[in-house]
Chain A
Amino acid sequence: MGIETVGPPSAPPAPGWADEVRRLAKARDAVILAHNYQLPEIQDVADHVGDSLALSRIAASAPHREIVFCGVHFMAETAKILSPGKRVLIPDAGAGCSLADTIHVEELRTWKAAHPGAAVVAYVNTSAAVKAESDVCCTSSNAADVVASIPADTEILFLPDRHLGAHVQRVTGRENLRVWPGQCHVHEGIGGDVLRDAIAADPTADVLVHPECACATSALRLVADGGIAPERVRITSTGGMLDEARRTGARRVLVATETGMLHQLRRANPGTEFAPVSDRAVCPYMKMITPEKLLASLREGRDEITVDEGIAALARDAVERMIAIGSPVAGAE
């Protein structure tokens, strides 16, 4: 049996798409922000590209009336929390986050009730409701500093990422730190075996590992076992990865995080080859923001993000407490 079939190709952006996006943004007085894990064409059309917290801070300080956030839902929510007077749009409100989904505010309330007096440290990958129930937020770059700023005899509930939590525990040596068992669908897939295979395939390459990765512990073990020289491995946030990319002289760098990050790293340093540890590390929620949806978002003014003002105020406190701790925010998810 054989049947001829012709299907429509998945459309690349139409010619003039970028110009039209920029024209509409200007007409709306909107600033376009894109996360590091967005599609390359979205990153290229945006006014600013970065990690979620850096983008939220840009959002708060930008003079525009509107923010179009190309990222996942909690990121746009965080931007709204920090700029309550502005209209915040996301091109697809269905772009969730598998990590933020692992803790519901009711679950957090239960956890807190079982540990009265504990301080709650929430990674920025959480819903506004969860942030509002937390004492202080953190990013992957300042999580250890935030934890260290809490009195040593205070128990800490750290959420929701188990791998980042383990990393913080290692760095701070803190024993009274309890970690929520969440993980991100993308980073959980970059396990120790995947990292070992990638390093074995190119034993001379440098390695950058995001602390959310399931392989972060294995990376340290590899160093300890002499499997790879310590100076060739860095466990760092996406912001830290960019700093590394700018200064590295390595021929090739293996990157363990979402593959969208490669676009920024390559732009930062065209002389080094950046390759993914796993080419399956693609966040589907990030990729729900397509060129067509961005255009539709600007044309139709959707999807608008709203956050209950009471929740927003409490969540804002948690974020501002983090900023007050004073660590420069170079990277966050």
Chain B
Amino acid sequence: MTAPALSRPGVLTGPEPIVGSGHVVGVSPRLVAPAPVWQLRTDVLLVGSGVAALTLAAELAGSGLRVHLVTKGELGDGSTRWAQGGIARANTGPGFSTGSVAATDTPEDVERHVSDTLTAGAGLGDPRTVRQLATDGPGAVRRLADLGARFDLDADGRPALTREGGHSHARIVHAGGDATGAEVQRALQARLHTSLEADEITVAENAFLLDLLRGPDGAVRGAVVALLDATGSCRSVGIVHARATVLATGGLGQVFATTTNPAAVTGDGIAAALRAGAELADLEFVQFHPTVFAGAGPTDDGRHLLISEAVRGEGARIIDAGGVLVMAGAHPLADLAPRDVVSATMASAMAERGVRHLYLDARHLGEPVLDARFPTILARCRENGVDPLTQPIPVRPAAHYTCGGVRADLTGRTSLPGLFAIGEVACTGVHGANRLASNSLLEGLVAAHRLAGFLRGGGLPGSAARGRVTAPRDRAAGVLPGVRAGLALAMEDTAGVLRDPAGLDLLVRRLGEVPLADASEALPGRASWEATNLHTLMAAIAQAAVTRAESRGCHRRTDVDGVRSGWRRHLVATLADDGTGPATVRQEARP
């Protein structure tokens, strides 16, 4: 069969000739699924149930718009609840609680938040979008507090602020210490339940987004959705007609074998958008967290246990099996260097030694410190047979955040009319080549608020046109779930923290050799759909990674140290409209 292909074009009007594999990777044109047997109509189809989705749901409540939320597992299965750090917002004043005034509160912090974010973004952040994010930040956090989220307060009753790597100023609000995401998820889910009781929204759990539907005018007009049973098998497939379809499906951490993201984070929204003809951008920029627990496999929900940076902040150090300090000499801040530096140094040390993990030595911190500050980490390590008081903790870097995604502005508008993307699924130019800590929850809040305003104020596309809605392409194909684990390991080894062009060439070739099963062979269900989506995104990431011949932000190539002139541009991935290719990764200069 002819599969739409993710390839790199032979000639690009880039800064220099592009040298690479030239291999074409066939990907699934449409997910294999039974014929639809039901349909329903709504104004807004909202896919996802993390911070962006639930904020949008809260802000559309009472607007008179019908909202139908679908989420493939249970509410809140995604990354939001695991966010540890907090929410960065310019420190312009207390904003959401009364209390004494601190001298550090100044409106100038908006400018500093902009510049810190752009610095982290390594030349690819969009200054205008970043300014929108920073300007709207204080209001976004205030609204979340008004919805019932309880942030940590200091002794004067003001929001307690913390500072993280890359921030020039303490401007991060947090909840429950390091449990900000859990509090955000709790508050928003409580609000959702109020909306449910008031019949302001309908919610379908275990409802998997298969493919987007487009009308004769090309606008996205809803989606094909599968209802699953508890095991992930397909119970039935139906059509949701919608005037606006909103992707709030999060990132794609499960592309890599080791990730801090839960099992649900398989990039379904990004892959569906690509199949529908939307533009994706910046997919090569995947942020890795330096330290997850490597002494056991993933948790039941697919995550690797994060060992917080704060453990290194207390004095723990990364060592190899022989006790050698890995970070010594690599950076003036040693173990407290920026995440990308620590991850890259660790990855190269692991490669040199031919090992799959290093160690975090926290033995000298002593029981009182570990017990008081990191009780969860201590308990989880012990459950897995590692006592941090007497043994170094096995650790390795893990995929953490997807900077790229579906191209959209901060109101969620994508390259396709009727299709919106908010939160981690979107690539708005806020993060550029690397995300500043604690900007991700903020982006979800701000984009959802802006989109809610847009949809409520007449931005909802009309549905007057009569006509057929169609899934993107005629042929369906899928990847068999059995190949997923091996590919995720290959992605981690080759397109992970460190990337070399020869390895990437082989990886692209291997991805191209993955057989695409047609409708007669593929068994429809969550496992195969996720494997298929992951395969598509692996191809897109690998093609982008092999094309970008420089090291910038969280994309690190072993053959080029640092950025190269002329590469301040984005790689944009699309599939050809007719489904026959040529699909492209094209370069686009930053204005």
A: which residues have CB within 8 A of B?
A: 1-10, 39, 94-96, 98, 101-104, 106-111, 113-114, 178, 180-183, 185, 188, 191, 193, 214, 282-288, 290
Give 7 A-B pairs besides A5-B215, A107-B138, A109-B93 with Cβ atoms closer than 8 angstroms.
A1-B224, A4-B468, A7-B41, A9-B463, A10-B464, A94-B63, A106-B93
Contact in complex: B103, A181 (CB < 8 Å): no
For residue A110, which residues in chain B have a CB less than 8 angstroms away from its CB?
92-94, 101-102, 105
- Partner of A7 from the list B63, B131, B243 (CB cut-off 8 Å) is B243
Q: Which of B89-147 contact A (CB under 8 A)?
A: 90, 92-98, 101-103, 105-108, 110-111, 128, 131-132, 135-136, 138-139, 142
A284 and B458 contact, Cβ closer than 8 Å, known pairs A5-B241, A111-B107, A191-B128: yes
Residue of B nearest to A183 (CB): B135
Contact in complex: B457, A283 (CB < 8 Å): yes
Asked whether B462 is an interface residue with its Cβ less than 8 Å from the other chain, the reply is yes
Asked whether B450 is an interface residue with its Cβ less than 8 Å from the other chain, the reply is yes
For residue B464, which residues in chain A have a CB less than 8 angstroms away from its CB?
7-10
For residue B466, which residues in chain A have a CB less than 8 angstroms away from its CB?
4-6
Contact in complex: B132, A94 (CB < 8 Å): no
For residue B459, which residues in chain A have a CB less than 8 angstroms away from its CB?
282, 284, 287
For residue A104, which residues in chain B have a CB less than 8 angstroms away from its CB?
93, 95-96, 138-139, 142
Contact in complex: A181, B110 (CB < 8 Å): yes
For residue A188, which residues in chain B have a CB less than 8 angstroms away from its CB?
128, 131-132, 135
For residue A1, which residues in chain B have a CB less than 8 angstroms away from its CB?
35-36, 224, 470-471
Residue of A nearest to B467 (CB): A5
Shortest distance between the CB of A280 and any CB in chain B (Å): 9
A-B contact count (CB 8 A): 139
Q: Which of B48-100 contact A (CB under 8 A)?
A: 62-63, 90, 92-98
Q: Which of B455-482 contact A (CB under 8 A)?
A: 455-460, 462-471
The CA of A183 and the CA of B111, in the complex, are separated in Å by 13
- Partner of B463 from the list A4, A7, A95, A102 (CB cut-off 8 Å) is A7
Asked whether B221 is an interface residue with its Cβ less than 8 Å from the other chain, the reply is yes
A98 and B41 contact, Cβ closer than 8 Å, known pairs A107-B93, A109-B101: no
Shortest distance between the CB of A110 and any CB in chain B (Å): 4
Asked whether B591 is an interface residue with its Cβ less than 8 Å from the other chain, the reply is yes
Contact in complex: B105, A287 (CB < 8 Å): no
The CA of A183 and the CA of B101, in the complex, are separated in Å by 24
Contact in complex: A107, B469 (CB < 8 Å): no
* Contact sample, A vs B, 25 pairs, CB 8 Å cutoff: A1-B35, A3-B36, A3-B241, A5-B468, A7-B463, A9-B464, A96-B453, A98-B453, A103-B92, A104-B93, A104-B96, A104-B142, A106-B93, A106-B97, A107-B138, A110-B105, A111-B93, A111-B107, A180-B107, A183-B132, A183-B135, A188-B132, A188-B135, A193-B591, A287-B457
Contact in complex: A181, B463 (CB < 8 Å): no
For residue B142, which residues in chain A have a CB less than 8 angstroms away from its CB?
104
Shortest distance between the CB of B312 and any CB in chain A (Å): 34
Asked whether B39 is an interface residue with its Cβ less than 8 Å from the other chain, the reply is yes
6 smallest CB-CB distances across A and B, nearest first, come from A284-B457, A7-B463, A107-B93, A9-B464, A110-B93, A287-B458
A101 and B139 contact, Cβ closer than 8 Å, known pairs A2-B468, A185-B450, A188-B128: yes
For residue B138, which residues in chain A have a CB less than 8 angstroms away from its CB?
102, 104, 107
The CA of A10 and the CA of B457, in the complex, are separated in Å by 13
Residue of A nearest to B458 (CB): A287
Contact in complex: B132, A107 (CB < 8 Å): no
Residue of A nearest to B62 (CB): A94
A3 and B591 contact, Cβ closer than 8 Å, known pairs A104-B95, A109-B93, A284-B454: no
